[in-house]
Amino acid sequence: MATRIPIAFRRGPRTKKKAIDLIKTWHIYRGDKRSGELKLNERASCFNQVEVINGPHKGKQGEVVSVVRDLNKVIVENINMVRGPSHRYVKSTPVAAGRSYLSPSPIHYSNVNLVDPSIGKPTRVAIRFTDEGEKVRVSKKTGTIIPKPAAQKLATEDQPFFDAVKAEFGERCTDDLAIRVTRAFHGVKKNRLQFTLAETKKIVDWRAASNVDSILTRELDLTKIYNECWPVYLYGEDSEGHVLTVDRVGEMNVDGFLKNFSHVSQLLPHRVQYMERIQWEKVAISTRLGRRVYKHVCVVDLKGLGMKHVSPSVLSQLKPIFDVGQLYYPETLHCLYIVNAPLIFYGAWKVISALIQPETREKIQVFKDAKTFTAAAQKHGIPLESLPKFLGGSHPGRLMDNTFTPCVPDTPLPAATYSAAEAKIAAVAAATATATAELEVSKAT
C-alpha cells in the first residue's frame, strides 16, 4: 500500500515572494479628498478629491487618510471597510476606555484617481511648472491645476465634536488642540463626545496647573545639566512638512541623570519644555507653508545602547515621560523610527511597548541599521537633505536647548493660541480660494 504524502510536501518548493516595484513619483497625497456637494466657489478651499476607478467600490469618493508607500497603496476614509485585520479592538487602560471599531483597508494606487474639480470626473494627471517655477499637478482631461491638499480639514462627521470642544472650553483650547483631540478620539464609538470633552478637560487643566503656557519663557531648575545629559536635535522636514527630532541614546548620560535627578517629577518639566519647543517649530512651519502642520517625526538612534539604559531604575522613569506625549499632546506624532536596534533592545522592547498606547505603537518602526532606515525614510518622503549626517543625510541639525529659536523669525509662542499662525494660514487659504474662483469664472466665460 502506497504511503500518503502530506500535502505540505506535495506542494513543491516555495517560491520566493516577488519584490514590489515601488512607485518613485507619487501624485496622490494624504489629504486629497472629496468635495461632496460643494458649489463651485466653495470648492476652492476644499479642492481635492479622489475616486476609486476599479473594483467593488468603483465610483466612490473619499479622503486619502494615509499613503502606504511600501505597498504602493493608499487608505481612503470610509472605503474598503473589511472585517478581519481591519476590525480592531483596543483594550481599556486606566486613562482610556476600551473600544471596538473598523478601519479602512488599503487600496492599490492604480485603482484610485484624482478628480478633476472643473468637471467632477476622475482623471490622470501630469506634472507641469507655473511661470513662477512652482511644480503643480494638472488634469490631463482639461488642463485644470489640482493643487496639493492644504490644511487637513475636519471630516463632516467630526465637525460637531470640534464645535463642542470649542464651545465648552473657549479660548482655553486653541483650534490646534481642538482639531487634535477631535481626530485623536475619532475611533471611540460609545459616548465619543463625553470621552472627548473629558480628555480635553484633563489636558486644559493640566496645562493650567503646570503653567505650561509660560514654560518657554522661564528657566527651569537644572536646565543646563538636563540638556547636557539628554541632548536632542531638530533636523529637516519630510515631504508633508513634518519636522524631524532625533534622540541619540549613545549621547545620553544616564549616570548624570541618576546623580542629579532623584525623582522623575524633576524630569517632567524639562520634557514638557521639549514638547513645547516642537510645537513652537510647527507653528513656524505652518506659517511658512500657509497650512496647518501639527505632527512631527521622531527618530531614536540606539547606537551605544547598553545594560545601564535598560536597568529597572531607568525603565521605571520611562512611563511618566512617555505619558507626557501620549496623554497631553495627542495626535502630534506622525511616526517614530527606532534605528540601530541591537539584540538587547528586543528584550527591553517587550517591557517598553506595554507602556505605549496601541495607537502610538502602530506608528513605530524598528530598523537594525542606519542603511535600512535611510532607504525606508526616502520611500516615506524624507529626503537625505533632512536627515542627520550620522544617518546618511546632510542636515547639520539644531540643538533644542534654551538657545533654540524656530525656523521663522518672530514666530509667536504656542501659548499665543496660534493666533498669528492661524491668521496667516487663513489668509493664504483665502487668497488661494479667490484665485481659483477667478480662474473658474474666466474659463466659464
Question: Which of 187, 209, 231 is at the close of a domain?
Answer: 209
pLDDT of residue 432: 52
- CATH code for the domain in which residue 117 is found: 2.30.30.30
**Model's pTM, two decimal places?**
0.64
Same-domain check for residues 194 and 219: no
- Is residue 436 situated within a structural domain? no
**Cα 111 to chain centroid, rounded:** 25
Same-domain check for residues 86 and 175: no
Tell me, what amino acid is at 225? Answer: I
Same-domain check for residues 101 and 49: yes
- Is residue 26 situated within a structural domain? no
pLDDT of residue 394: 92
- Is residue 18 situated within a structural domain? no
Count up the domains in the chain and report the number.
3
Same-domain check for residues 340 and 298: yes
Same-domain check for residues 171 and 229: no
pLDDT of residue 150: 54
Residue 105, Cβ density class (10 Å: 0-12 exposed, 13-18 middle, ≥19 buried): middle
- Is residue 10 situated within a structural domain? no
Same-domain check for residues 129 and 222: no
Alpha-carbon separation of residue 356 from 15, 298, 320, 329, 336 (angstroms): 37, 15, 11, 14, 12
| Residue 394 contacts residue 385 (beta carbons within 8 Å) | yes
- Is residue 441 situated within a structural domain? no
pLDDT of residue 65: 78
pLDDT of residue 252: 82
pLDDT of residue 435: 54
pLDDT of residue 245: 93
Which positions of the chain have pLDDT values less than 50?
Answer: 34-47, 85-86, 417-425, 428
Question: Which of 128, 149, 170 is at the close of a domain?
Answer: 149
Question: Which of 107, 130, 149 is at the close of a domain?
Answer: 149
Instruction: Kindly give the interhelix angle for 175-184 and 159-169, rounded to the nearest 10 degrees.
Output: 130
Q: What is the CA radius of gyration of the chain?
A: 24
Round to whole Å and give the CA distance between 421 and 425.
6
Same-domain check for residues 266 and 362: yes
Same-domain check for residues 369 and 402: yes
pLDDT of residue 190: 83
Alpha-carbon separation of residue 245 from 79, 222, 241, 405 (angstroms): 33, 22, 13, 14
Same-domain check for residues 184 and 226: no
Q: Parallel, antiparallel, or unpaired: how do β-strands 107-108 and 87-90 relate?
A: unpaired
- Is residue 252 situated within a structural domain? yes
Question: Which residues span the domain enclosing 49?
Answer: 40-149
Same-domain check for residues 189 and 241: no
Round to whole Å and give the CA distance between 407 and 289.
12
Round to whole Å and give the CA distance between 336 and 361.
9
Round to whole Å and give the CA distance between 298 and 327.
17
* Residue labelled with grid coordinates 519644555: 273
- Is residue 254 situated within a structural domain? yes
Same-domain check for residues 184 and 201: yes
pLDDT of residue 326: 82
Same-domain check for residues 260 and 344: yes
- Is residue 96 situated within a structural domain? yes
